[in-house]
Structure 1
């Protein structure tokens, strides 16, 4: 460790109320709620800086409602692109159209915004609410986590070497491979989907336009095309044996196969490959250690629910911790109530996205034909369209 790094990096506080591990959307949202309530916290992340590219691209209505109390909703809406339709097609043949503009919410649309922009807004709110010019401490890796009467001890390695912080509670918001969850001895059951997926942000000519998110079915799987701010489109597609770094030619080939010539790629901005998992933690807490976001649950990207349900976890957990630390609520009872509220919401989303994923990735020709006929029929039923729109918007979670 260099002397310069030690001199320029302030030491971590020895004590705080809540240590949050992971400065993604969930951790940042929780920090904002705690700062708004006046709860002391320390937000740590192992990465030297936040990612400049990201997978999540939509902020749903329930999430915007959740972020109102911390003042993040207005700047998100200002930066994002409002989309009011979700279309499902096989090539150029429309199967169903789902509209968001009739939903009972102040935000009757899907707000399209790259995850790093959402994180930037949340980081600004944490900075403003806490008065901390550097609200995220980086890079700090958790190497030990212990519990004692009345609190937890978190050991981290960072720019100043090994340090120990004592807190009343520790929160794991550190993703699917959560160090906090593993240290707490909490199981994480589930599995991985067989399909590989490519994700790419491109500039292109897209005949359906920028007024809707389009789900397209093809023989090799689905492709989702969503507009983003700045004349960018995001493509997410199931691709057999997807390459680690997809190129513009692959994106064009996917569009040719599944959009029937409706898109012409001009520029690939970035791309990646991933596999989707469906997992949930056996429990959301072990004593004073609590989980939120992907550390507690992960599921298919179908419907764009992942980041959203994590931010919603943060809102519920922020209220619970404020009740404990500021209003004297019983910690065990209040954190058990948090789990009773949020774990069923995660189970519902996992079940919903699993059904959706299996339907859209079906390879059997008879199954695909039956799916398309069913969608075409259901698409004419207003109650079904409204129910699906509410599910996608998170209004049932």
Structure 2
């Protein structure tokens, strides 16, 4: 049953909303997590979890389970059909997780949901937020559950409700940017794939971009740019994409289509991550091309940092003014991600022979420079942005906590 008051109300139970909920549970902070959908994600969407994200998730107690379910890959390659232009090795990165962790988003969400349940939490589904209003005392959200309206008052409200965020619109925060001209096809398929299941491959061709990435169940994630994609691409559509963009020495064969979708991609960033008692994270704050697999990862790290900050403030470890650290650190991180994904997408969308030749030449030269290759791998893994994912030491000493039990103890450890 939905309460009338809470410390924190989270709108949206995707990966970012659930990660924030886990962090708040461990900090012992009363909160409510709602989502308008009746069930969690059934399709796979995001498919890679990067090293920095795994490191950030370790205090939440989910990293071990994620790595158990996933496929670990050390290799990432950019190819022009048969020719490898650039190869990156993630196996030598300075991290406990020197790999690309391939895991469909629905399984990531399943792990997060199980962790929330283990901490005694609940995801309130089929609950839609309709209005968000702030005053000097807090924020008040009108929600609809089973056709009935209810008002929930919270000290803070967090919008993890996607690109069309009600929370962002209610705060009047501008979402600067635009949409790419091309649409994208996303599909999970079973393939005879000549490259093999040992690398994530980004392939360029005159017809456009295609990404092929192995998944733990033996299937492959395929992402491709298409000028006018069908709403539900079928086997023939995916086969045509791989025939026109994949390797030519040995033909790729699509055996089975498990799931597919079409979507438009935007590159947008909010002007502010906070308006008084309302915060934004994930796709509500930043959206960009899937190139590099950065979207979900950036949102999860938003959630981990915001969870620690809100936990510290509610528990008296930090003054409320230090909530400004969230935007100070996370907006520059998102800006870097947008620039990285944007550059990769512009390269992929190059159509003129001259631009394609110069692009391929530049990547081939880059492939000869170990220092620059390592820098790029650090950027893709998120490790180069690690300083933007760490909070400074709290300016106050922790207030004595009287709660008992495992959640309270974990919360004290997280805030330490």
**Does residue 279 in structure 1 map to residue 268 in structure 2?**
yes
**Does residue 52 in structure 1 map to residue 42 in structure 2?**
yes
Residue 144 of structure 1, aligned match among 87, 109, 131? 131
TM-score normalized by structure 1?
0.95
Inter-partner Cα distance in structure 2 for 1:335 and 1:124: 29
Partner of 1:390: 378
Partner of 1:299: 288
Partner of 1:104: 94
Residue 124 of structure 1, aligned match among 98, 111, 114? 114
1:173-228: CA deviation from partner (whole Å, max 9, x where unpaired): 00000011111111111000001111110011111111100011111111000000
SS at structure 1 position matched to 2:180: strand
Kept in 2, the 8 Å contact 1:220–1:240? The answer is no
What are structure 1's unaligned runs of at least 5 residues?
A: 1-9
**235-244 or 143-152: which moved more?**
143-152
**Does residue 206 in structure 1 map to residue 196 in structure 2?**
no
**Does residue 91 in structure 1 map to residue 81 in structure 2?**
yes
* Structure 1 ranges of 4+ moved more than 3 A: none
Residue 277 of structure 2, aligned match among 288, 302, 307? 288
Inter-partner Cα distance in structure 1 for 2:293 and 2:84: 21
SS at structure 2 position matched to 1:344: helix
What are structure 2's unaligned runs of at least 5 residues?
A: 386-416
**Does residue 355 in structure 1 map to residue 343 in structure 2?**
yes
Deviation of 1:328 (Å): 5.1
**Does residue 245 in structure 1 map to residue 232 in structure 2?**
yes
Cα RMSD after superposing both structures: 1.0
Inter-partner Cα distance in structure 1 for 2:75 and 2:260: 25
**Does residue 254 in structure 1 map to residue 236 in structure 2?**
no
1:211-261: CA deviation from partner (whole Å, max 9, x where unpaired): 100011111111000000111001001112111111111111111111124
Deviation of 1:50 (Å): 1.3
1:271-312: CA deviation from partner (whole Å, max 9, x where unpaired): 111111000111011110000111011111110000000000
Partner of 2:388: none
Kept in 2, the 8 Å contact 1:320–1:335? The answer is yes
**Does residue 365 in structure 1 map to residue 358 in structure 2?**
no
Deviation of 1:323 (Å): 1.4
1:125-156: CA deviation from partner (whole Å, max 9, x where unpaired): 11112x13xx2101111112112223111110
Kept in 2, the 8 Å contact 1:224–1:235? The answer is yes
- After TM superposition, the structure 1 = structure 2 runs for residues 12-27 of structure 1, keeping only pairs within 5 Å, are 12-27=2-17
Kept in 1, the 8 Å contact 2:50–2:101? The answer is yes
SS at structure 2 position matched to 1:317: helix
Residue 220 of structure 1, aligned match among 207, 213, 225? 207
Partner of 1:334: 322
Inter-partner Cα distance in structure 1 for 2:25 and 2:117: 9
Deviation of 1:160 (Å): 5.8
Partner of 1:6: none
Inter-partner Cα distance in structure 1 for 2:230 and 2:293: 22
Kept in 2, the 8 Å contact 1:208–1:262? The answer is no
Inter-partner Cα distance in structure 1 for 2:198 and 2:212: 11
Partner of 1:28: 18
**Does residue 322 in structure 1 map to residue 311 in structure 2?**
yes
- After TM superposition, the structure 1 = structure 2 runs for residues 155-234 of structure 1, keeping only pairs within 5 Å, are 155-159=142-146, 161-234=148-221
SS at structure 2 position matched to 1:101: helix
